[in-house]
Structure formats: structure tokens, C-alpha cells
Amino acid sequence: MDTQGQVVALLDATGSFFEPSATAFPGAGAAAWEGASLLDPGAAGPEGSWRLGFRCFAVSRPGGRWVLIDAGVGPAQGPAAGWAPVPGRLPAALAEAGIAPADVESVVLTHLHEDHTGWTQDEAGRPFFPDARYLVQSAEVAALDRADPVSDWTVAPLRATGQLHEVTGEHRLAPGITLLPTPGHTPGHQSVLVEGTAGPGGGGRGRDVVVTGDVLVHAVQLADPAVPYFHERDRAAARASREQLLSLAVRRRALLATAHLTRAFVEPPGRGR
């Protein structure tokens, strides 16, 4: 495929979160939950449970090359196995999209949580994307505890092969693809702006897409960006990043590409259809 700027959603897994949505999003009011049910009705499970997807995105580049954003929950023996629905099906999703692992020139890791770094290795412990460089914020690597399993699963092996590339702040990865620091969920979280894309499935040319990562993890934070997520490292910084990113999306009339909503692409609040 020789098109540039097509954004493809790749669903690695689906499942229910390990705690109820009301626990994961403390302080969310009735209006926010009502808004969330309209924005992402598929997330509401029985008895207050939270259903979510675990999604990566691929952005096409000239010459049949691709940029992958995030690496999913990974194989059965990966670090996410303790709580996420492993093994993920990213290898199959890539094949269905006509993307070979060797076609991936860069992998952007929005942050170093287990459910976003799983397929940095395959089942045999080899780099799943053998020719890719992996881009992560320096602040994210610096804040990672050496005892965190992602350190041995992702950071150390990629350093050993020379594939780990640390960036600082806003970074233009390629024409039309910019990494944006959005700290709070983790100290070095980043999101991605893809400009003038071919849109989901190749339609809607000229539309920007903002790949959010975990700046928002549930539609309740789309209905009310002030709602915190219990597992955010710095809630005040996460809220500021969320509000700034959503404001950017509204200004640019961009679609949001979400990691964990049950819908891959959603409109930002304040923009009518």
C-alpha cells in the first residue's frame, strides 16, 4: 500500500476491567455518567462493570511503510497477563490490514504500561517489529521503576538492540506526524497528532486525527474532562493534558482515536456531527 496518512485501528483485545467503573473514576457525577452512556454505550457492563478495548493504531507512510502507535497487551506470557485479556490478537489484526511486522518503521509508545507495550516482544522473546525504532519520552523512561516488569520486557531489550529512541517534548516524527507530551497518566505520557489523514478506512481525506493514548480512558472523561481516573499518577497534570488535548482536537476539527473506548474513533466534545 502506497498511500500516506491512512489511520487504521487495530484491536488487540477486549475485556472487562478489574474494578467497577465507579471505583476507577471517583467523583464522576450523574450527568457525566449519562453523557458517557451516550458517547460510548458499549462500555457499560453488568453490575457497574467497565468493558473496554485495548487498541493500537497504524499510520501509513510512503513506500508501504507504517508507524504503529502502541503495542497492545501482548502474548500470554507478557507483563499484562496478571490483569489484561491476553494473548492479544495484534499479529492477526496486522495481517488482516496487510501490514507485515517488517513494514513497521517506527513504534510510538504513548507510555510504558503493560497493556501498551506487550507486543514489543513475540512469544519467543524476540523483537516483534525487527526493523522499527521505538519512540518514548525520556521522562517516561526516567520514571520507570527498575522492578517494573516492563523494564525487563521492553526497555532493556530495546536498548540492547539499539531500537529504543528517547525523545524530549514535542517531536516531529515524520511529515504530518507529531508526538505531543501529555503527562499526568504517567510522567512521560505522549499523544500523537496525525495531520490531514485519509481517515479511518481511507475515507474523509483532510481530517486530522489525535491519538489520545490514556489521556482519556473512558467516555466519562470525555463527557467531563475534570473526572479523574484512579490510576493516574498525577491527577492535576492529567486533567490539564486532557483539557488541552481536547481543546486542540476541537480547534483542528480532529477525530479522537482512542485506546480503550469501545469505539475507535469519536468526535471531541463541543463538535457536532
Spell out the residues 6+ positions from residue 212 whose beta carbon is closer than 8 angstroms to its own. 191, 245, 256, 257, 258, 259
| This prediction's pTM | 0.94
Q: Are 118 and 72 in contact (CB under 8 A)?
A: yes
Q: What is the pLDDT of residue 3?
A: 59
DSSP string, 193-225: EEEEE-EETT-STTEEEEEEETT--STHHHH-T
Query: How does pLDDT run across 22-72, given as a tens digit for each residue?
Result: 999 998 999 999 999 999 999 999 999 999 999 999 999 999 999 999 999
Q: So what's the pLDDT on residue 124?
A: 87
For the segment 148-172, what is each residue's pLDDT rounded down to a tens digit?
A: 999 999 999 999 999 999 999 999 9
Nearest to 135 by CA among 100, 102, 171: 171
In tens, the pLDDT along 58-99 reads 999 999 999 999 999 999 999 999 999 999 999 999 999 999
- The Cα–Cα gap between 244 and 127 comes to 34
Among 232, 258, 234, CA closest to 245 = 258
**Are 228 and 151 in contact, with CB atoms under 8 Å apart?**
no
User: In degrees, to the nearest 5, what angle opens at C-alpha 172 toward C-alphas 269 and 141?
Assistant: 90
pLDDT at 203: 42
Confidence category of residue 270, pLDDT binned at 50, 70, 90: confident
